[in-house]
Structure 1
């Protein structure tokens, strides 16, 4: 094939890819699990959105929380399923509008091995593993440990590992003495994992995962998406199964007080990103 023909073919494929991307509706999911696991968990929602919108819908995540935040800021995603602190930032600064949230609040856990620490005081000068330094669970644990008398980085080490799976593996291998995870994320690893760890402390609950839409979609479509999400999760067999698997227990509209409660943590997040 001549160089000229090859160039034309590559240009055609590039244009075709761009056209498809323009047609696609992108659901962005914060990378609290591996991309493969997230694609399985959110497939029912992707399929429902594609059916409702009558256009291709793709699921995308990112390599880490920082990259996901950057892509959100650039408007890469049409809808996001995002961590609460990222969601408040997306509302305030990134042109996204809250749609719905799970009925259940986010409940962070501090877990240890069955033969591990008997109380939080025994974690002094130990390592606690977590998924990502910008994860809401990490920030919640940071506040909790400060209130418990620890100084993160000095009298206790919080070590990001890249994913919840890595964090739990670090705990089970003995590289960490405790791990930070949510009730819902732990459930998604199955009953076998739940038997391998013991809950040492339940941290204060917060506003959970947020589903948000980019304002470029327009108020009419955003309102329709909110109603479609509520109907799917609360009134259809597929949606109820999806909601149960993610420990959402259903969806409801986001109240302004849900968002306002996140402001102190957003300040923590901004301080961490400086």
Structure 2
């Protein structure tokens, strides 16, 4: 147990040190994970994938992130990451604007839920008028999905409904539990692993339809041969013991090819992401 804790502490220290600036040392590749979870959760969940990428490409890999979504998008634009695990609209933007290549998408498709306290007055999105909702970032797919759902009900997110941005999506449920917001929007991945106390205290008042899930993208400097190797290797990750454990913990289902149809479904969210910028 002490060895496990020591390794986790060391990994967290390295991860935290990499947060301000994502840069490789020598032949080390940089694997960027967008910051929808806390640093601790990213290290715990994505270390097996980082190691598999390193084994596939026969290169050491440093796993890093960013303090927030906007910084992650900017670092992607600057080419600071060799491989990224990212939200669908951010991955599509990386392809169209920054020249990143498609590697894979998760079998899991993003479904957004809005949660409110069971003992509170909110039973639907209509009840959010003049109230507040917590969301991890206004650059997220969750923000866009919730904003569109509110708009269909004549409510403006940020106008009729106050937005509370949290440090990450891992903090959304606690923000509702603590009364910092009257509702919270997040993906079903985090709701499905909520604690018993959270599930007892909260209820779903809205659930969206599915949109394409997380994307893995590669910077063109990796070269066509390495990118093709990753494209071929990631679907096989789930057949390894590390991959079985990874998908059991992350609930991402699997990795599968990323096609034009999925990207077309993402395009409207990219337009929202870049509007006014």
Q: TM-score range by the shorter chain?
A: 0.7 to 0.9
Cα distance in 1 for residues equivalent to 2:75 and 2:197: 35
State which of 159, 162, 179 in structure 2 corresponds to 1:174. Answer: 179
Q: Secondary structure of the residue that 1:128 maps to in structure 2? A: strand
Q: Secondary structure of the residue that 1:33 maps to in structure 2? A: coil
Equivalence map 1:1-274=2 (5 Å): 21-116=25-120, 117-233=122-238, 235-271=239-275, 274=277
- The alignment's TM-score, normalised by the length of structure 2, stands at 0.87
Seen in structure 2, the aligned counterparts of structure 1 residues 150 and 249 have a Cα distance that, compared at 3 Å, is: same
Cα distance in 1 for residues equivalent to 2:194 and 2:221: 36
User: 1:29, 1:61 within 8 Å by CA — same for their partners in 2?
Assistant: yes
Q: Secondary structure of the residue that 1:200 maps to in structure 2? A: strand
Cα distance per residue 1:139-184 (max 9 Å; x no partner): 1111111012212222111221221233222211112111011011
Q: Secondary structure of the residue that 1:180 maps to in structure 2? A: strand
Seen in structure 2, the aligned counterparts of structure 1 residues 195 and 239 have a Cα distance that, compared at 3 Å, is: farther
Cα distance in 1 for residues equivalent to 2:65 and 2:193: 18
Seen in structure 2, the aligned counterparts of structure 1 residues 213 and 195 have a Cα distance that, compared at 3 Å, is: farther
Cα distance in 2 for residues equivalent to 1:43 and 1:191: 27
Seen in structure 2, the aligned counterparts of structure 1 residues 59 and 115 have a Cα distance that, compared at 3 Å, is: same
Question: Which runs of no fewer than 5 residues in structure 1 stay unpaired?
Answer: 1-18
Query: Comparing 245-254 with 180-189, which one deviates more in the overlay?
Result: 180-189
Cα distance in 2 for residues equivalent to 1:261 and 1:239: 27
User: 1:188, 1:245 within 8 Å by CA — same for their partners in 2?
Assistant: no
Cα distance in 2 for residues equivalent to 1:213 and 1:189: 32
Cα distance in 1 for residues equivalent to 2:107 and 2:265: 16
In the TM superposition, what is the alpha-carbon distance from 1:217 to its structure 2 partner? Answer: 1.0
**Structure 1 vs Structure 2 CA RMSD:** 1.7
- The alignment's TM-score, normalised by the length of structure 1, stands at 0.88
